Amino acid sequence: MNTKKIRLTGAQLSFSVGAIQENKSKILDTLEEAEKIQSDVVIFPELSITGYPPEDLLLRESFIGKNFAVLEEIAAYSGSSSAIIGFVDRSLNEDSTDNFDRKISNAAAIVQNGDVKGIYHKCFLPNYSVFDEARYFAKGNNPADLFWYDDIAIGINICEDIWIDNGPADRQVASGASIIININASPFDINKIDSRRNQVMEKAKKLNVPIIYLNMVGGQDELVFDGGSFVVDSSGKIIYQASQFKEEVFTLDLEVQIKDIISDSKLTLNTKTEELPNLISQETFNELESMYEALKLGVSDYVRKNNFQKILVGLSGGIDSALTATIAVDALSPENVIGIAMPSKYNPDSSLDDAQQLADNLGIEFKVIPIEETVESLRTLLKDSLEEPLADVTDENIQSRIRGNIIMGLSNQLGAMVLSTGNKSEMAVGYSTLYGDLAGGFALLKDVYKTEVYKLAEFRNKESKVIPLNSITKEPSAELRDDQFDSDSLPDYELLDKILKMYIESDYSSEKIIASGIENNIVYDVLEKVDKNEYKRKQVAPGVKLTERAFGKDRRMPITNTYIRERYS
């Protein structure tokens, strides 16, 4: 079997949505370095020119035009090192599934020596979970296209294409490809990392060719792209694993098979004058490490890309606000985080002490703003206007909403973004206050169940004990009335989260959840709370997606929902 060496550079970089000129600069800088080491192919992520997902920016002609102009500039700059670059192309495909004419495609351009040498259009468009690609793009209709570098054929495909049985990768290998390059903007969730690797390893083994899986990295609104690119040889073995959750440019040489096929090659390989140092694979993270890193990257990019410098966190002395502030400090550094305690008469001194200790441990600025006088004024105002006593929930929400007003006022004055501190369990059942504790620009723990909040806090404390032990061990309470505890309104969080995961993540029916051994009245009460609080969740700020069914783009339920669940005793 005749083989030839091909030198590949993977550019696992962060490309911001809409930052077309900035993205161009990153690509050009990387190409310049690749030329120095005679790289044959430099691989950039899916839609690296526009960033991913550009959403309805794709409906603007000016945006598409700038994307074209930048591709031409990159092509004109290119030298002997070719590049595979994700961009938006025009489409001539007239096939349509509805009455909307899609004139663009999710594409990869191959540039070398001053010109665009080839283009591949993504053939399989994901339209599930957070993906809406069929809203914008026309499908590619040439899944077997090959790109010849001298006598080496490369199959290039994009993200979803690699997962399809007998899809583009299979067709390309059948046509003579000796290597497959798959470019991605694949968002993180806790179940995806191992699944990606296992599926690509099986695909490489089945097709008997190496596969390069190149993923984007960085935060974009609710999504986090975790990088974790890797290279698999023809036996299905991972020969290089790139970093997770950070940028990395790596280069390696691969021996690939020369096929006995005559081609009209438009692309060329470089003559290599120097050997490369051996690459050492990066360590991969376990589930808790991955969640923590995703939260850090998600909040840091959201704050930075939206032009904030500092953030505010309301510190109650509880576990949720403690974890939120700790992640924020790890992501953005202590000088950019301000903790705000807003005690009322229902907050014991121990809670303020816990908040103060956390702030001291983290080294952040800490402000204490007592609210009882303001709360009493509003209590009186409402009672006088209604001429009747206030209901308990009304009184409790007054406190929460005054805190929301104070922290948002500080946000306006200081130009700092507020991080709300609620978790997924609370948001699921509505154990939160609109315009109160839900107020903020980013809901960091939006996709973190309460039981996972504890696990993440303990995980972080293994590095250094920054979160006070009392915040972790004390019984959780909203502290909005005397002797109030979460358990007064909710099942134990272990049980609650078990029900929520079955209902939200797996779409189990009430009957199926009850059949798992949980008391039927508890199940019905929890599910009714979830259903009737959709209106609250729709008004919650964006937050980092960690699971397969995050609230927001993943789980799209109607607010007005008159479906009646029958109860069976």
Same domain? For 299 and 275 the reply is no
Same domain? For 350 and 245 the reply is no
Same domain? For 249 and 319 the reply is no
| CB neighbour class for 483 (10 Å; exposed up to 12, middle 13-18, buried from 19) | exposed
Same domain? For 61 and 34 the reply is yes
Average pLDDT, the chain: 92
**Angle formed by the axes of helices 349-362 and 319-332, nearest 10°:** 10
Same domain? For 201 and 127 the reply is yes
Tens digits of residue pLDDT in 240-265:
999 999 999 999 999 888 877 767 77
Does residue 553 lie within any of the structural domains?
no
Same domain? For 273 and 292 the reply is no
Sign for the CA dihedral angle at 410, 411, 416, 419 comes to positive
Could you give phi then psi for residue 135, rounded to 5 degrees?
Answer: -65, -30
Does residue 557 lie within any of the structural domains?
no
Residue ending a domain, choose from 243, 263, 280: 280
Separation CA 261–CA 320 (nearest Å): 62
- Of the residues 24, 117, 133, 159, only one is catalytic, namely 159
Kindly report the length of the chain: 569
| CB neighbour class for 281 (10 Å; exposed up to 12, middle 13-18, buried from 19) | middle
Tens digits of residue pLDDT in 4-59:
899 999 999 999 999 999 999 999 999 999 999 999 999 999 999 999 999 999 99
Does residue 462 lie within any of the structural domains?
yes
Tens digits of residue pLDDT in 455-478:
999 999 999 999 999 999 998 777
Name the one residue in this structure whose structure tokens are 């031409």. Answer: 72
Same domain? For 192 and 71 the reply is yes
- Percent share of the chain, pLDDT over 70: 99
The reported pLDDT for the residue numbered 569 is 65
The full 3-state SS of 60-75, as one line of letters, equals CHHHHHHHHHHHHHHH
Same domain? For 268 and 380 the reply is no
- Of the residues 122, 305, 450, 536, only one is catalytic, namely 122
CATH code of the domain containing 449: 3.40.50.620
Question: Residue 452 catalytic?
Answer: no
Tens digits of residue pLDDT in 298-308:
999 999 999 99
The reported pLDDT for the residue numbered 479 is 66
The reported pLDDT for the residue numbered 3 is 87
- Of the residues 26, 46, 160, 545, only one is catalytic, namely 46
Per the structure, how many domains does the chain have? Answer: 2
Question: Residue 123 catalytic?
Answer: no
CATH code of the domain containing 56: 3.60.110.10
Does residue 520 lie within any of the structural domains?
no
Tens digits of residue pLDDT in 211-250:
999 999 999 999 999 999 999 999 999 999 999 999 999 9
Does residue 519 lie within any of the structural domains?
no
Domain that holds residue 444: 288-486
What residues does 11 pair with on adjacent strands?
249
Same domain? For 132 and 197 the reply is yes
Separation CA 88–CA 215 (nearest Å): 17
Separation CA 119–CA 156 (nearest Å): 9
Same domain? For 129 and 73 the reply is yes
Helices and strands per DSSP (H, E), number in the chain: 17, 19
Does residue 340 lie within any of the structural domains?
yes
Does residue 545 lie within any of the structural domains?
no
Residue ending a domain, choose from 241, 262, 280: 280
Same domain? For 452 and 329 the reply is yes
Separation CA 550–CA 544 (nearest Å): 9
Tens digits of residue pLDDT in 308-342:
999 999 999 999 999 999 999 999 999 999 999 99
Separation CA 268–CA 152 (nearest Å): 9
Does residue 311 lie within any of the structural domains?
yes
Nearest to 428 by CA among 500, 519, 489: 500
Task: Yes or no: say if 242 and 282 are a contact pair by the CB < 8 Å rule.
Answer: yes
Question: Residue 122 catalytic?
Answer: yes
Residue ending a domain, choose from 225, 255, 280: 280
Same domain? For 161 and 267 the reply is yes
Tens digits of residue pLDDT in 381-440:
998 888 888 888 888 899 999 999 999 999 999 999 999 999 999 999 999 998 988 999
